[in-house]
Every structure is written in C-alpha cells, then in structure tokens.
C-alpha cells in the first residue's frame, strides 16, 4: 500500500469536518461543498456566479473561517483602484522616506466580492497573483503566501455598473460554480436555523495552513494513467475544433482539468484518477474557458451544455 493511501484516513477525517462546516451554512448543496473543497485541494481559485441571496458570500466566508489562515475581503466597486488591492508606498514626513504598505491581497484567502463591479484595470490587478502567487508593485516583486486562494463572487443578472471579466482572467479561475436556489423543504429549514444566530457564527477552524499545503502536495502524487491524460487532451482538442466555439480550452485549462481530477480522486479516497473523475469536474473547469459564436449563442446554446455534449461524444478510455 502506498504512503499516500496510508495517510488518506488522517486527511479524510479533517476533510469531513470541513465538509460539515460548509454544509452548515449551505444547506442541501453537497455538490457545491464538494467542488469548493476540491478547488482548495487543487490550489485553484473559485468564481461563484449566481443571483443575489443564494449564499455566495456566505460560502466564501465559511471556507475562510474553516481554515486557520489569514483572510481579507474586498468589496469591489467602480471606484476601486489597483493600489486598493495591491498596496502602495506611503510617505513618512518625519524622515522623508517611503514605506510600502501591503494591500489586502497579502493573505491566504481573499474574498473578492462582486468582482465584476470594478473596472477591467482593477480586475487585472489580480491576474499575476492568481497565476504566479506574486505581485509586482511599483517595479518591485512581492511574493504572496504559499497558500493563496481567491474566492470571487459575481451577479450574472445585473449589468448596470458592471464590467464583464476578460477571458484572460476567467482562465485563471480553476472552477466556475453556481449555487442555485434551495429546495422548498431546505428553504423552510433555513428559517428555523437562523432564529437565534447565523450558522456562520458557529464555524471553527478545522484545518491549518500547514495541513492544507501538505494535503495539496499529496494530491499532486495522485496517479494519472497515460490513457486518462490523453482523454483530457482529447476533450480540450474537441473544444478547439467545435464549429460552435470561437475560443476553445487553452493548455492552462487542460492542466487545470488534470489537477482538478487529481483532487477529486483524492476526495473520493483514491490515489489514482478514473475517467469518471474527469467527467465529473469537467463542466466546472471548462465551461467558463470557452466562447460561443454569435450563431450558437443566439441559437440558445450554453457553455455548459456544449461541454456536456463534448463529454458524451469524446471516446472514454477503458
């Protein structure tokens, strides 16, 4: 039995506690909880896109509180500047010197609330941080914490005062997640759970930064057979050749799918990836990385539907 398999039980107990924490605040949405946990273990950022009031910000806060890690929140607004995110030099009139003051990006978990309300220039301040875990400010390069995760939320319905995220930034998010409305019986349950206090107030840290980093290293050791890696490449190639798409999945996208499949296999208690793992995570990882042609868009097609169709058409390795 491999060393990874020997350590699975220890980590699975910790991850079960994390799952319970998130499930306390996002009732009746086990798939959402599972996918967000998968993104954390894969070391990727999450974009939560949904209508107001379904728990986007609450889910992000619950994850941050479940980790014994530094957490900052930025409320994105049209007048937000890159310096408000990255930081800037502050003049000291006493000795005439300048000292760099870190912005909120220097943390382990960053909640970028309503990210599409800021201008493209401000949104782009996150690009380097999300892909390279560093920030270049006033010509100097600053390293971010080894554990760095962006949880961004946006409202896809409201267009006034918003700026669509550019493709380059969307490609930096590991997954795109929509929570959706709760089932009627779950919605009724939520009423009574919040009579005295919000479930978010009951959440305690269950994982340290060191433990998360250790698990992320173990996830990277999950085996991916050549046939499964080839399957991932074939899926990416299929998006690039689809006549309904004017932009297919980039090599970064296929790499993100590879890592997400490893993470999901780990969560499932295995040290090897199955084609089923790839199929499960693909809609979350690939849907926001493709662009439909005008004809396909006006014809009623959606990104997720096209990815699901490609998953049905591409031959699955046995």
pLDDT tens for residues 163-198? 888 888 889 999 999 888 888 998 898 888 888 788
Greatest mean pLDDT among 6-10, 122-126, 234-238 lies in 234-238
- CB-based contact 271:292 (threshold 8 Å): no
Output 117 or 156, whichever has higher pLDDT: 117
pLDDT tens for residues 240-265? 999 999 999 999 999 999 999 999 99
For range 131-153, the mean pLDDT: 89
Share of the chain above pLDDT 70, in %: 96
* Tokens (6 digits) for 87: 């930081």
Strands 140-143, 45-49: pairing kind: unpaired
pLDDT at residue 132 in the model: 87
The helix, strand and coil proportions of the chain, stated in percent and rounded to the nearest 5, come to 50, 20, 30
* Tokens (6 digits) for 274: 């199955």
DSSP 125-169: GGHHHHHHSEEEETTEEEEPPSS-EEEEEE-SS--TT--PPPHHH
Share of the chain above pLDDT 90, in %: 52
pLDDT at residue 96 in the model: 74
- CB-based contact 89:99 (threshold 8 Å): yes
CB contact set of 159 (below 8 Å; sequence gap of 6+): none
Residue 160: pLDDT band with limits 50, 70, 90:
low
User: E strand or H helix at 266, and its extent?
Assistant: helix 251-267
For range 209-217, the mean pLDDT: 93
pLDDT at residue 297 in the model: 87
For range 218-238, the mean pLDDT: 96
Residue 155: pLDDT band with limits 50, 70, 90:
confident
Pick the CATH number of 42-187 from 3.40.50.1820, 3.40.50.1100, 3.40.50.300, 3.30.70.100: 3.40.50.300
pLDDT at residue 1 in the model: 44
Output 276 or 69, whichever has higher pLDDT: 276
pLDDT at residue 158 in the model: 63
3-state secondary structure 196-260: CCCHHHHCCCCEEHHHHHHHHHHHHCCECCHHHHHHHHHHHHHHHHCCCEEECCCHHHHHHHHHH
Residue 108: pLDDT band with limits 50, 70, 90:
very high
CB contact set of 240 (below 8 Å; sequence gap of 6+): 248, 249
**Count of H-run helices and E-run strands, the chain:** 14, 13
**Sign of the dihedral defined by the CA atoms of residues 132, 135, 141, 143, in that order:** negative
pLDDT at residue 89 in the model: 81
The residue extents of the domains of the chain are 42-187
Residue 7: pLDDT band with limits 50, 70, 90:
low
pLDDT at residue 104 in the model: 93
pLDDT at residue 166 in the model: 82
Q: Is 55 left (phi over 0), alpha (psi -120 to 50) or beta?
A: left
* Tokens (6 digits) for 115: 């990210």
Identify which of 6, 54, 7, 60 has the alpha carbon closest to the alpha carbon of residue 33: 60
């Amino acid at each position: 039995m491999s060393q990874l398999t020997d350590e699975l039980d220890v980590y699975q107990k910790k991850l079960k506690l994390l799952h319970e924490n998130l499930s306390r605040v996002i009732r009746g949405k086990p798939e959402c909880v599972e996918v967000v946990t998968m993104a954390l273990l894969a070391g990727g950022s999450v974009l939560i896109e949904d209508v107001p009031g379904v728990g986007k910000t609450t889910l992000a806060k619950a994850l941050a509180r479940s980790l014994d890690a530094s957490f900052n929140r930025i409320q994105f607004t049209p007048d937000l500047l890159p310096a408000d995110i990255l930081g800037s030099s502050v003049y000291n009139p006493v000795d005439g010197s300048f000292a760099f003051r870190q912005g909120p990006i220097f943390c382990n978990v960053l909640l970028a609330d309503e990210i599409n309300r800021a201008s493209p220039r401000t949104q782009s301040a996150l690009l380097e941080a999300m892909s390279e875990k560093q920030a270049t400010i006033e010509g100097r390069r600053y390293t971010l914490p080894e554990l760095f995760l962006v949880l961004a939320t946006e409202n896809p319905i409201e267009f006034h005062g918003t700026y669509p995220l550019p493709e380059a930034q969307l490609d930096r998010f590991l997954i795109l997640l929509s929570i959706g409305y709760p089932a009627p019986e779950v919605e009724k349950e939520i009423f009574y759970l919040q009579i005295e206090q919000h479930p978010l107030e009951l959440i305690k840290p269950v994982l340290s930064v060191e433990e998360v980093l250790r698990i992320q290293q173990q996830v990277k050791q999950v085996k991916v057979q050549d046939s499964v890696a080839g399957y991932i490449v074939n899926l990416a190639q299929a998006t690039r050749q689809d006549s309904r798409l004017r932009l297919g999945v980039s090599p970064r996208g296929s790499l993100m799918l590879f890592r997400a499949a490893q993470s999901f296999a780990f969560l499932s208690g295995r040290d090897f990836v199955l084609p089923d793992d790839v199929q499960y995570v693909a809609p979350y990882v690939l849907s926001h990385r493709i662009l439909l042609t005008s004809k396909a868009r006006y014809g009623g097609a959606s990104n997720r539907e096209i990815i699901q169709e490609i998953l049905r058409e591409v031959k699955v390795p046995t």
